Amino acid sequence: MSNEAKIYEYKTLQGVTTRIRDDLNNHDFVLLFAYNGTGKTRLSMAFKDVGKIKGAKDTLYFNAFTEDLFFWHNDLDADTERYFIINSNSVFFSGFKELALEEKIFEFLERYADFNFRIDYDNWRVVFSRGDEENIKVSRGEQNIFIWCIYLAICQLVFDGHTSYSWVKKLYIDDPISSLDDNNAIAVASDLAQLLKSGLKSRKEAGQNEIKAVISSHHGLFFNVIWNEFKRSGIKYKTHFYHRANNSEVYTLRSTDETPFFHHVSILSEIKNAVETDKIYTYHFNMLRSIMEKTAIFFGSKDFSTCIHGLDDEVLYSRALNLLSHGKYSIYEPREMIDDTKNLFKDIFAAFLERYKFDLPQIIQQQEKKA
C-alpha cells in the first residue's frame, strides 16, 4: 500500500482547528479518522471555541459532553420512578420546549430502537416505556442512540432554517456510535450522510448559507460508510487521518482522500517504531493480531493465520499470537515484554511486513524528533 500525501504537523489544537476551518471554506464536509487517545473530543471543543473567539458561537457539536447533558434518576429507594434528566441550561436546548420535538425525534429513533418516550418539559425529564412497561431503564446503547436522535432532530431544524438555531453555521460530530454494534453503526452512518446531503441540497436550493460539517470517528466501519456515501454523491469533502503519538504534543493531519481506511497503516507504523526503539509492550500483540485479522479479511480469509501460512515458524507464530493477544493489556498501564518475547514479536512482525509490502508513513518518527 502506498500513500504519498504530505503530513502536516501542528503544535497546538488551535493550529489543527484553523486548518480544518480553512478546509471548510472550500469543502462542504471534513472527515477525520483518529483512534482513541488522540484527543478527538478536545479537538471538537477547540473547534467550537474558535467560533466564540471570532465573535459569536457558530458550532452545534455532538460529543461526550453532549451525552453528559443527560443523567439518570434511578429511584434507589422504591425502584419504580426511573427517568432521564435533561440539563436545560445548555444552549443545545434553545427553543426545545416550544418546538415539542417528540415527533421529529421519534422519526429517527424508530429506525434503531423499539422503546417509546415522553418528555416532561415542566421538569425537564424523559420517561421511557416499552409495550406495557413504564418507567423503564434503557440500556447504555439505547440511551446513547436516543441522545443521538435528539441531535439529529435539532440538525433537521438547523437545515430547515428555524430561528431558534439560526446561530448554527457549522456542525461538529464526534463518534456518535459508542456502544453500537456494526449493523447499527452502518445504519447511523448512512442516515447521517443522507441527512447532511439532503440538508446541503435543500439550503442551496433555497439560496441559504450552507451548513458545513466536521465528522470525526475512531470506528473504521462508520468512517468508511460515510466516506463512500460522500464519494458517490459528488459533493465536496476533505478527509484526514488525525494522529498524536503517545506522550507527544505534536498533532498531525494527513490527507486520506483516496484511501479511506488509512488508520491501520498508522498502527503498523507505531508498531514499527516500537520494534526499532525496543520499547515493545504486551498490548502490541493485540494491535498486531488486529491488523492481521483485517488483512486476512481484505484477502477473503476469515482467519488471521492466513497471514503467516507457509512460514517456517508458522506453528510457533500462531501459538504466540493466540496466547499473547488475548490478555487485557492496557495502553495506559503498559508492561514491557521480556527479551525472548520481544524477539519473537520482532520475528513475527518482520515476516508479516516481508509478505505484505506496506508503505509505512513516518508519522511516529517525525514526532519523536520534535517531541
Q: What is the pLDDT of residues 236-248, one digit of tens each?
A: 999 998 988 766 7
* pLDDT of the residue at 194: 93
Closest CA to 2 of 357, 367, 363, 239: 357
Contact 94, 86 (CB under 8 A): no
DSSP-assigned letters across all residues of 106-137: HHHHTTT---EEEEETTTTEEEEEETTEES--
Residue 2 falls within a domain, yes or no?
no
* Confidence (pLDDT) at 272: 84
pLDDT tens digits along 275-321: 888 888 877 887 788 788 777 776 777 678 888 888 888 788 888 88
Q: Are 28 and 165 in the same domain? A: yes
Q: Which three cell numbers stand for residue 334?
A: 503498559
Model pLDDT for residues 85-106, shown as the tens digit of each residue: 999 888 788 777 778 788 899 9
Pairing of strands 7-10, 251-255: antiparallel
CB atoms within 10 A of CB 179: 12
Q: What is the C-alpha separation between 259 and 237, in angstroms, rounded?
A: 14
299 and 234 co-located in one domain? no
List the single range of 59-63, 79-83, 357-361 with lowest mean pLDDT. 357-361
Per-residue pLDDT, 169: 94
Which residue range is the domain that position 144 belongs to? 12-261
Closest alpha carbon to 233 in 34, 29, 61, 32? 29
Is residue 370 very low, low, confident or very high in pLDDT (cuts 50, 70, 90)? very low
Over residues 67-80, the pLDDT tens digits come to: 889 989 886 666 67
Answer with the one of 236, 261, 286 that is the final residue of a domain. Answer: 261
- Grade residue 192 by pLDDT with cuts at 50, 70 and 90: very high
By the 8 A CB rule, do 81 and 75 touch? yes
Q: How many structural domains compose the chain?
A: 2
In the prediction, which pLDDT does 331 show?
43
Beta bridge partners, 126, equal 84, 119
Query: In 3D, which of 319, 320, 311, 324 has the Cα closest to residue 350?
Result: 311
The reply to whether 148 and 239 lie within a common domain is yes
pLDDT in tens, 130-148: 988 988 888 888 888 899 9
Q: Are residues 32 and 162 in the same domain?
A: yes
Please state whether the predicted TM-score (pTM) of the whole model is above 0.85. no
pLDDT score, position 130: 92
Give 108 or 179, the one with higher predicted confidence: 108
- What distance in Å separates the CA atoms of residue 202 and residue 277, rounded to the nearest whole number? 53
193 and 250 in a single domain? The answer is yes
The strand pairing partners of 285, in sequence order, are: none
Residue count of the chain: 371
> Of 261, 284, 310, which one is at a domain's C-terminal end?
261
User: Where a domain ends, among 196, 226, 261?
Assistant: 261
- On whether both 256 and 270 belong to a single domain, the answer is no
- Rounded CA-CA distance 239/214 in Å is 10
Other CB atoms closer than 10 Å to residue 114's CB: what's the count?
9
Are residues 211 and 343 located together in one domain of the fold?
A: no
Residues 175 and 127 in one domain: yes
Q: How many CA atoms lie within 13 A of 362 on its CB side?
A: 11
Coil, helix or strand for 176? Answer: coil
pLDDT band at 178 (very low <50, low <70, confident <90, very high): low
The average confidence (pLDDT) of the chain is 82
| CATH for 203 | 3.40.50.300
Q: Which of 147, 222, 146 is nearest to 181 (CA)?
A: 222
